[in-house]
Amino acid sequence: MKRYRCIVKGVVQGVWYRKHVAEAAEAAGFLGYVQNLPDGSVEAVADMEAERLEEFEKILKKGSPLSQVESIVCEEVPYDTPFHDFRIVR
């Protein structure tokens, strides 16, 4: 199991982006969280096997009907305490 941190830029705050991502990620079996960042971007962190990263990125790209994703940058980060669900961090 690996942990990935993705930063999503574009029109991703104030457009129900986190809600749509959290619902889709949880439905797909991902564990982690999504949260707004002060610079207007969104951070999504999830635990997964490496071969599922592309699937997770597709969820991030789709977002919500009003979102406009300009870029997604993902990196592997240290895995520590496991997540038990996929949630929105406020």
- H or E segment and range at residue 17: helix 17-27
Q: Which residue among 5, 36, 52, 87 is the active-site one?
A: 36
Catalytic residue (choose from 18, 52, 87, 90): 18
Question: Is residue 90 annotated as part of the catalytic site, yes or no?
Answer: no
Q: Is 52 helix (H, G, I), strand (E, B) or coil?
A: helix
Question: Is 18 among the residues known to form the active site?
Answer: yes
| Active site members | 18, 36
